[in-house]
Amino acid sequence: WWSYKHDTYQKPNGETGDYWYGDKLAATLTVPVLPDGRLVLTIQQRYLSDKQSIEFPSGATDPETALLDSAKRELHEETGMSAQEWVSIGEFGSLPGYFKAKTMVFIAKVNGQGEQQLDDTEDIEVIYRRADEFQDMVERNEIWDSQTLAAWSLVHHYFI
């Protein structure tokens, strides 16, 4: 999913320095919205934190696949849902001092649920919340995933 890299660069004082960082494939994150306005979220157990995380569907892209197609694939895999209407919202960097990585954010108006297509590392539950309920969860620190929080900062004004 990512590689560890080393560059030699010129510091602001003119000296040469070493910079170690992670280089990661781009990711997509989708804020799925049901016809009644509720948000679609996933709950997954996160190994490194050893606790469950409530998140918007997201995942790494395939370098050979368009970002929107990657978002559509990830939405379907994690939730079983599809959408006909997609809006590109923007992008953000994840840990820009440590990783070369970007995440593209989309809003999708979902229109039905099928079967999830999870891989053997995933066990994902799908839940639904109104925007005000989601905001309350953020304020109670029940939502702690940085990508979900960053995406919410880009899209919350569409919902609240």
Question: How far apart are the C-alpha atoms of 71 and 61, rounded to whole Å?
Answer: 8
Give the pLDDT score at 81: 96
DSSP 14: S
As averages over each run of 10 residues, the pLDDT of the chain (160 residues) reads: 94 97 95 96 95 96 93 96 96 92 97 83 92 98 97 94
Closest CA relative to residue 56, chosen from 72, 79, 35, 37: 79
Give the pLDDT score at 113: 76
Question: How far apart are the C-alpha atoms of 72 and 125, rounded to whole Å?
Answer: 18
Question: How far apart are the C-alpha atoms of 52 and 137, rounded to whole Å?
Answer: 14
Give the pLDDT score at 4: 96
64 to each of 8, 24, 25, 26, 69, how far by Cα in Å? Answer: 29, 15, 11, 12, 10
Question: How far apart are the C-alpha atoms of 144 and 46, rounded to whole Å?
Answer: 11
Question: How far apart are the C-alpha atoms of 16 and 126, rounded to whole Å?
Answer: 49
Beta pairing class for 39-46 and 51-55? antiparallel
Question: How far apart are the C-alpha atoms of 83 and 73, rounded to whole Å?
Answer: 11
Give the pLDDT score at 21: 96
Give the pLDDT score at 59: 94
